[in-house]
Amino acid sequence: MRLSYSTCPNDTFIFYALANGKIDTEGIEFEISMHDIDILNKNAEANDAPEITKISSNAYGAKLWKRYVTLDAGSALGRNNGPLLVARKYFAPTEISSKSILIPGVDTTANLLFSVFFPEALNKTPMLFSRIEGEVLAGNYDCGLLIHEGRFTYQDKGLVKIVDFGEKWEQEMHHPIPLGTIIARRDIGIDKAQQVSRIIRRSIEYARTHPNEAMPYIRSYARELSDDVINNHIALYVNDFSIDLGNEGKEAISFLYQKAYEAHFLKELPRNIFL
């Protein structure tokens, strides 16, 4: 089976054991590819899309739920872990609609959250997430949405926070925030999808009990090499929801899609999306 995920520390932590032969994969051989989340979103739409892939929650709900099912294990969902809008100098959120804004991809959950709260802010430009800090610092854009390691490094680089969308979502919506999930093509069958979900859970459990062993693999792909940044990243994005979405996690994802549908960002409300 082809398996695609990002190079970010939470994903390389989750898949370390699977990718390096540390656990029982129940006879499945995985062909692994790694990409930026925006590319993962686009690749999942292709005719020859991978059987298993990481995906933005937004991209899944908007375009891919009929073709893929959401696995119980591997998600990036939690509390206080949403994208941050940052700028060189502070301005009030009421001014956002007049600003030029960088986003890490049109189909990303970061863009969906931004759009739910600031639908009138339309001057948005998609860009590779790792370039956003530099472009804002250079003065080429007024502000940018940071995901992944950027939320831990922006202050050191001289940027200031305008809005924390994870904090805002939880305060106003009273749900944890779904950012990304692992999905399986429906045509592989439900039994095989459940099998892959078990394997991913086993991989996370191995990494949790062997964190130092996993670090060289994680560090080899990380954009920020500081162990503190890497460890904070993993602690924030890999949690009990990653082991198993459970009822609370599934309710949070369904709620996100309900709000997106009500705000006319989804043409159709996703159905039957969980194992």
Cite the active site residues. 148
Annotate 23-83 with DSSP letters as a single string: S--TT---EEEE--HHHHHHHTTSTT--SEEEEEHHHIIIIITTTEEE-SSS-EEESS---
Record the tokens describing residue 255, joined without a space. 């709620």
Q: How many other C-beta atoms are found inside a 10 Å radius of the C-beta of residue 160?
A: 13
d(CA 86, CA 151): 9
Pairing type for strands 177-185 and 68-70 reads antiparallel
Q: How many other C-beta atoms are found inside a 10 Å radius of the C-beta of residue 125?
A: 14
Q: How many other C-beta atoms are found inside a 10 Å radius of the C-beta of residue 79?
A: 16
Question: Amino acid identity of 173?
Answer: M
> Which residue(s) pair with 146 in the sheet?
84
- The answer to whether the CB of 3 falls within 8 A of the CB of 188 is no
Q: How far are the Cα atoms of 1, 124, 235 from residue 231, in angstroms, in the given order?
A: 29, 31, 6
